[in-house]
Amino acid sequence: MSLTDRLLRPLLSSSARPAVTHYDDAVGSRVELSVATLANWAAKTANWLVEEFDVEPGDPVHVELPAHWQTAGVLLGTWWCGGHVVAEAEGARVSFTGPGGATGVADDTAVVALDPLGRGLGPQGAPDGAFDYLSDARTAGDDFTPLIPVPGDTPALLGRSADDMLTAARARAEELGVGAGDRVLSTREWTLPGGVLDAFVAPLSVGAHVVQVSNPAKLDAHRTAERTTIDLTA
């Protein structure tokens, strides 16, 4: 079973509750994704990767994106269809990059607009030969069922299998003091592999809510507004 299946299935019994809230203090934005909305974005991404790029279990998918609610959909969608998240674009089936990122290194490039309102790249569109992730993936299906089963030993992140990632995530959650129902305030970047593991996968693996803050300037206000219980701000 894929890492995404294992992370999301236990949460779907309370699908309306928040899973990821993203603040960007530089632009004053706040976006909250419920479990259902996060699963929907992950499904759209997985369907798009399979239908547009023929991604199969074990295929390398490069992700070079900041900690962001759109990155959450990219990572979970990639894992859901069995994609192997890697740090290098060369040789990858698809490369996810932000605006201004390098294109043409992987087989294909998907540019993630990182717009706080979820808009695509706008009239200028993606660079020649690249895809506008938000505009294109949003038309994909809202539900995902793998055409090819994703075994637990499929590589998920830098060679670590889905099974290993889940075990490591739960261990890190225990070390960090994160448990079910916690609201985790984080300013950590989702670097590969440690940042993604600690600040994203570990909280989800135990049913915690991630409150991710980019360009932090109002942490005390966010702690109060979100009633956070754990800080990952060091």
The predicted-structure confidence for 141-179, as pLDDT tens digits, reads as follows 999 999 889 999 999 999 999 999 999 999 999 999 999
Q: How many CA atoms lie within 13 A of 106 on its CB side?
A: 27
- For the four alpha carbons of 144, 147, 151 and 154, in that order, the dihedral sign comes to negative
Mean pLDDT within 206-226:
98
* pLDDT score of 102: 80
Q: 202 falls in which pLDDT band (50, 70, 90)? A: very high
* pLDDT score of 129: 87
* pLDDT score of 128: 85
Mean pLDDT within 68-82:
98
Q: What is the pTM of this model?
A: 0.97
Name the strand (E) or helix (H) holding 18: strand 18-24
* pLDDT tens track for 100-143: 888 888 999 999 999 988 899 987 788 888 999 999 999 999 99
Phi-psi region of 145 (alpha: psi -120 to 50; beta: other; left: phi over 0): beta
What is the chain's alpha carbon radius of gyration, rounded to the nearest angstrom? 16
Contact indicator for 221, 177 with CB cutoff of 8 Å: no
Contact indicator for 75, 65 with CB cutoff of 8 Å: no
CA distance 142 to 45: 9
Contact indicator for 203, 185 with CB cutoff of 8 Å: no
* pLDDT score of 124: 77
Q: Locate the DSSP E strands across 70-133.
A: 84-86, 94-97, 108-111, 131-132
- For 80, which DSSP code? H
- pLDDT of 81 strictly over 90: yes
What's the angle, vertex CA 127, arms to CA 140 and CA 131, rounded to 5?
15
> What 3-state DSSP class applies to 189?
coil
Domains of the chain, first to last = 3-232 (3.40.50.12780)
> What 3-state DSSP class applies to 146?
coil
Q: What mean pLDDT, rounded, does the chain reach?
A: 95
Mean pLDDT within 38-56:
97
**Beta pairing class for 84-86 and 60-64:** parallel
Mean pLDDT within 215-223:
97
